[in-house]
Chains A and B, each alone.
Chain A
Amino acid sequence: MQDLGDAFALAFQLVLSADADLIEIVGLSMRVSLSATAIACLIGLPLGALVATGRFRGRGVIVVVMNALMGLPPVVVGLLVYLHLSRSGPLGFLGLLYTPTAMIIAQTILITPIVAALSRQVLEDLHGEYAEQFRSLCLNRWQTVRALLWDARYSLLTVGLAGFGRAVAEVGAVIIVGGNIDHLTRVMTTAIALETSKGDLALALALGLVLLAIALGVNAAVQTLRLTAARQAYA
């Protein structure tokens, strides 16, 4: 309990004093996780929409695989990305290992299946409601997908949030491909892991509290947006 009390005190102290290291770590965490979420949405949302509106052979298998990939183990993803980006790997010439870019790649691979699978479910439900009307209007596939993505935008915010939550809380993949290098690839989760291993539990807990506060803040903002949209019958 002493640690928890110290942690709260330290967390407040770090935030109030605008600690430069903390700001750097939080900034990098946000940059990596938001970039990965944005890229995962760019790939995952259209993919989810195409599977949601498509009727083709093997669709059931694709849905099962998409759902299964939501549970990708981060360390396995980290290892695979590491093998590809290491000097002897096929993409080693890019020199991306132990850079924020490598961390973004790993997190994107981790959360794209989450975004695709969850958006597929959201869009399939909406498509069930719209399908007959859209067929009556003779909309093509592209028009259908665009309309579904736009009309489901507030529900898809939650999907993006799920992806962001997974990314920002993830440690296994980013520590392998980022290396937890101070002032270069250290993010909140890897810093927490490091401080814990050093025995500085108060600092680890303080960082954890800041991480929790950020996650709560982002969730609250999205939830407020959704509720506002729902009140206006747009959600």
Chain B
Amino acid sequence: MPDAGLVTAPPVVAPPEGAPLLPLKVRDLGLNLGGATVLKGLSFDLGPGGCTVIMGPNGAGKSLLLKLLHGLMAPTSGRIDWAGQAPAAVTARQALVFQTPVLLRRSVAANLDFVLRARGTGRGMGRAMRRARRDALLAHVGLAHKAAQPARLLSGGEAQRLALARALATDPQVLLLDEPTASLDPASVLAIERIVAEARERGVRVVFVTHDVGQARRMADDVIFLHRGGVAEHAAAARFFPRPDSRAARDFLDGRIVV
């Protein structure tokens, strides 16, 4: 039994492994729900590396698009191609952080243990190494001091950081985030942005849904602006924020109601 104190923790965010998932090609994507068309004719490409921010007014289909990319839903029409593979075939190589984190009725540490064991990312490490990885992840998201506490007693920001740690524990190539900072205080928002930025720097491709224009400016390398279920604009952040092409995006950035 190795001494846990002598174990060197594996990297918090492991370099992506396996065949690359990028580039992503989305072509003429459509989705009908309950007889209503919620997404139609979406086409865009994403290259490797960086952070794509998906923006748009409520009901534009941002969260549904993330679920389609992650393989949790099947489109009604069109195609999603992760370097030649369908989304459902590559779900395990991505991680999705939901707007409202779903945490198990266990301690903070047990929530991470569960993922490390279930996904096999902790397999072959041995118990001490897995524990070291867990502790490193908790320290990385600033929750080491809460390891033994029930996860469901965490504040909103802490719960979302635990959800992020859980996502990173799966060693994803692509990190999908669905408004992870909605309703959080500024300090929690910045903490989550820091964790996401560090993951991006280590080679994890980030796709981030947000309503927050300031956050989008801080995070985005490129922006996809959705409006009425379609892509109104896809541009580099440096061009999108000062000079958006579409009227809907201009209105959105200026704080006007977009319908």
Cβ of A137 within 8 Å of any chain B Cβ, yes or no, is yes
B118 within 8 A of partner (CB)? yes
Which residues from B are CB-within-8-Å of A150? 106
Given contacts A132-B72, A147-B104, contact A137 B98 (CB under 8 A): no
Docked complex Cα distance between A156 and B212 (Å):
42
Chain A interface SS verdict (over half): helix
Contact A136 B96 (CB under 8 A): yes
A137→B96 CA distance, assembly (Å): 9
B contact patch SS: mixed
The proximity string for A residues 113-154 relative to B, scoring 1 for CB distances below 8 Å and 0 otherwise, is 000000000000000011011011111000100010011000
Given contacts A137-B170, A232-B150, A233-B150, contact A130 B92 (CB under 8 A): no
Cβ proximity bits A12-48 to B, threshold 8 Å, 1 near / 0 not: 0000000000000000000000000000000000000
* A25 → B minimal CB distance (Å): 39
Chain A residues near B104 (CB, 8 Å)?
130, 147, 151
Contacts of B102 in A (CB 8 A): 129-130, 132-133
Q: How distant is the Cα of A166 from the Cα of B56 in the complex, in angstroms? A: 56
* Chain A residues in 8 Å Cβ range of B153: 232-233
- Flag whether B38 is at the interface (Cβ < 8 A): no
Closest to B97 in A: A136
On whether A234 and B92 interact (CB within 8 A), knowing A129-B102, A147-B104, A147-B114, the answer reads no
CA distance in complex: A150, B102 (Å): 16
Q: How far is the CA of A130 from the CA of B150 in the complex (A)?
A: 17
Minimum C-beta distance from B148 to chain A (A): 11
Q: Does A235 contact B (CB under 8 A)?
A: yes
Is B115 on the interface with A (CB-CB < 8 A)?
Answer: yes
Q: What sequence of 0s and 1s flags, for each residue 96-128 of chain B, a beta carbon within 8 Å of any chain A beta carbon?
A: 101000101110000000110011000000000
Q: Is B91 interfacial (CB-CB < 8 Å)?
A: yes
Residues B150 and A234 in contact, CB atoms below 8 Å apart: yes
**B106 contacts across to A, CB distance below 8 A:** 150-151, 234
- Report how many residues on chain B are interfacial, defined by Cβ distance under 8 Å: 20
Q: Are A133 and B98 in contact (CB under 8 A)?
A: yes
- Nearest Cβ in chain B — how far from A227, in angstroms? 14
Interface residue B62 (Cβ < 8 Å from any Cβ of A): no
Cβ distance B80 to chain A, nearest Cβ, rounded Å:
16
Are A136 and B152 in contact, CB atoms less than 8 angstroms apart?
no
Asked, given contacts A143-B118, A151-B105, A233-B150, whether A138 binds B91 with beta carbons under 8 Å apart, the answer is: yes
**Minimum C-beta distance from B104 to chain A (A):** 6
Of all chain B residues, which has the CB nearest A233? B152
Residues of A within 8 A of B98 (CB): 132-133, 136
B residues less than 8 Å from A135 (CB atoms): 72, 91
Complexed CA–CA distance, A132 and B101 (Å): 11
Question: Can you name the residue of chain A whose Cβ is closest to the Cβ of B169?
Answer: A137
- Chain B residues with CB below 8 A from A132, complex form: 72, 98, 102
Chain A residue nearest in CB terms to B176: A136
Is B95 interfacial (CB 8 A cutoff)? yes
**Given A147-B104, A234-B106, A235-B105, residue A136 in contact with residue B91 (CB < 8 A):** yes
A-B contact pairs, 24 of them (CB 8 A): A129-B102, A130-B104, A132-B98, A132-B102, A133-B102, A136-B91, A136-B95, A136-B96, A137-B118, A137-B119, A137-B170, A143-B118, A147-B104, A147-B114, A150-B106, A151-B104, A151-B106, A232-B153, A233-B152, A234-B105, A234-B106, A234-B150, A234-B152, A235-B105
> In the complex, given contacts A133-B98, A135-B72, A137-B115, what are 20 additional A-B residue pairs having Cβ atoms less than 8 angstroms apart?
A132-B98, A132-B102, A136-B72, A136-B91, A136-B96, A137-B118, A137-B170, A138-B91, A138-B92, A138-B119, A139-B118, A147-B118, A150-B106, A151-B106, A232-B153, A233-B105, A233-B150, A233-B151, A233-B152, A234-B150
